Each structure stands twice: as structure tokens, then as C-alpha cells.
Amino acid sequence: MANSLRQIPLQDIPNLPLPAHKIRTDADVHTWKSTQGYKDYAAFVGMVNECVVGVYMPWDDGGEELEGAVTKILQLLDTLDAWIDDIPPQPTPQRFGNLAFRTWGKRLHDTLPSLIQSILPQHIPAQTKSLLIQHLSPYLLTSFGSFVRMDYGTGHELAFALFLCTLSLIRVFPFPLPAKSSPPSSSPEEEDLTKTRRLSRAIALLIYPRYLRLTWRLQDRYNLEPAGSHGVWGLDDSSFLGYIWGSGQLRGRFPFPFPFLTAFVPVIFIPLQPYIPEPKANLPPFPPPQTPQHPQHQSSSPLLPPTPTPTPTPPTPLPP
């Protein structure tokens, strides 16, 4: 697997437009699919997916020291999690979300520059850092929910994924550069492949689950609504990447264990459940407290393999 993720040189940053909200209609989605940004995001998600095939959680990289950027982002998420303890929910009854979430969001907004600066490499010039903070801030600020609607959904997860993608494009995550040609197998090429796998697995199996745990806690603590659900709850209200990267983890592991889908257990990709046969640990799309209190064959029948429909029993004739 070759790394196909392009690099944006730091000297090009001043010429790039700042992120802006441009997807407002279905037609805008089709327009986005023709952009370089969409190609970059698809390449990022696909690269990570390829690197987690057959790799389960917990993942420790064989005891190797984590890349500095990975450690810094994990520390950043720990910091944001600690704020939840500092900002308790308001005790007054509130119908949609708890207003304390806006207090949490204001603290995030006010500290964004220092938070992002803490993960940028020291060798980047100060002026370039200032520009990078402007480019990265909208993604990180949008990653944890809407502070206006007080909800959380897949669009916010996408913002965090784009944040990670942007860090990869500017090589804060130091992915090797794409090969300009296809040279014969060599030791440097193998080293590049190993580094790509390590970084991708750290993103999918360390950073992303830590982000999920933080968003779950925010949803639970501040009673956030599922964004765009119109009152109907679904398995993918809050998360897509658990399914996408989880599909890589499960690739080649067919058939799926049928009792896993029919028993009273959380839905696919739940980590470290001792009663689930291998693969035991895959990416979780939503937290166990939110799992349905009934079998998956009742709430999520499309996840099950096709089964014959039983012949209906004829009605009992009414007495004359």
C-alpha cells in the first residue's frame, strides 16, 4: 500500500483560503465531491482504513514510542475532558441540552489559539503558526457539537476528521511523502510503509477512540441532542468513522459471528467485551449507555444476514 496523501508545503499556506461553511444544500455536496479538499479527505480516510486491516484494540504499537504529535493531541483531548469536571450542568430544567455546554464551548473558543499552538512543531515560524491556527481553528471548534443548537452529530465528527486530515497534509503527522514513481522494493520504501501504518493506526486506534469518549461524555453530561435526527434515533446519528475504519479491522473476517448481532449486547465495534468472540475489539460507533435495550435483530435488522420469511399462520375462522 503506497501513501497517496499529498503534502501542502508550509510556504503555500499564505495563499490558501481560510475554511468556510459552504455546504448548505444537497447540490453543494455534489460540488464538494469535485474539489481537492474532498479528494484529500477521501485519501486520508482510505489510507487509514487500509492500515487497520486485521488490527484490533487495544493497540500499543509493540511498545514503540508514540509520535510526538499523537501524544500532544491525546493530551489536548484529556485537557478538554477535564473541563467537563470544572463546568457542571446547570440544575434548572432545560428541554434541549444544558446551557453549561455553551460555557464549555466558550472556554474552547477562548483557548483555541494556545491549544492548537501546543500541537504544532516548534520549527514552524511564528507567522506561519498564526496562519495555521486560523486554518485549523474552525475544524477543532466545530468538532464537539453545536453550541447554538446544543446537539452533536456526524457533521461534528467530520470536522474532527478534517482537523486530523489537515494536520496530516501539513505533516504535523509526519507521514512519508508520496512516491513520485514506483521503484522496486527497497529498504527505505519499507520504512516509509511502516511509518505510514504506525501513524494511521495511532490516529484510528488511539486518537479517534479518545475523541469518541470525550464526545460521549459531553453528550451525556450536557444532554446533547442528536443533530438532524428530527426526533428519530439511529445507529449512525453521531458517528460514521467507527463503521468505516471498523470495516477495515473486520476485513476478511467473514462470516460475522451471528450471535453477536442477535444477543443483548452493544452493536458492532465495541471494545473489549469478553463475551464477544474474535475479533474482540473494534471501533465503537456509540457508547454502551446509549445502546438499545433490546436485541439487535429488533432494532437493526438490516445488520443481519438474510433469513427466510416464515409463512404466516392463517387466521382462525370466526365462529358462525
Length of the chain: 320
Residues 6+ apart with CB under 8 A from 76: 115, 118, 119
Residue 68 belongs to some domain of the structure: yes
**Helix, strand, coil percent content, the chain, rounded in steps of 5:** 50, 0, 50
**Chain position carrying cell 446533547:** 224
The tally of domains found in the chain comes to 1
Give a yes or no: residue 64 inside a domain. yes
Q: What is the pLDDT of residue 281?
A: 46
Q: Where in 200-246 does DSSP place strands (E)?
A: 225-226
List of E strands, the chain: 151-152, 225-226
- pLDDT at position 81: 96
Residue 307 to residue 303: CA distance in whole angstroms: 12
Radius of gyration of the chain (CA): 22
H or E element that contains 36: helix 36-51
Q: Is residue 245 part of a domain?
A: no
Q: Which domain holds residue 117?
A: 10-226
pLDDT of amino acid 147: 94
Closest CA to 222 of 140, 149, 138, 283: 149
Per-residue tens of pLDDT for the chain, all 320 residues: 545 789 999 999 999 999 988 888 989 999 999 999 999 999 999 999 999 888 877 777 766 667 889 999 999 999 999 999 999 999 887 778 899 999 999 999 999 999 999 999 999 999 999 999 999 999 999 999 999 998 898 889 999 999 999 999 999 998 887 655 445 545 656 777 788 888 999 999 899 989 999 998 999 899 888 887 655 555 556 788 888 888 888 777 655 544 444 443 333 343 433 333 343 445 554 454 454 444 545 545 555 555 444 544 544 554 55
CA dist 202 and 66 (Å) reads: 8
Whether the link from the prior residue into 279 is cis, omega within 30° of 0, is: yes
Nearest to 73 by CA among 136, 112, 142, 119: 119
pLDDT at 274: 35
Closest CA to 211 of 140, 274, 270: 140
Whether 118 maps to a domain, the answer reads: yes
- Cβ atoms of 6 and 178 within 8 Å: the answer is yes
CA distance 178 to 270: 34
Identify each DSSP E strand in 36-150 by its residue range.
none
DSSP assigned state of 44: H
Q: Which run of H or of E encompasses 31?
A: helix 26-32
Give the amino acid at 17. Answer: P
Give a yes or no: residue 235 inside a domain.
Answer: no
Residue where the block lists cell 501513524: 199
Residue reference for cell 468472540: 277
Map grid coordinates 501513501 to a residue: 3
Per-residue confidence (pLDDT) for residue 316, from 0 to 100: 52
pTM (2 d.p.): 0.80
**Would residue 42 count as lying in a domain?**
yes
- In the block, cell 490516529 appears at 203
pLDDT reported for residue 55: 81
Cell of 250: 473486520
In a domain, 233, yes or no: no
Q: Does residue 113 lie in a domain region?
A: yes
The C-alpha cell of 54 is what? Answer: 486485521
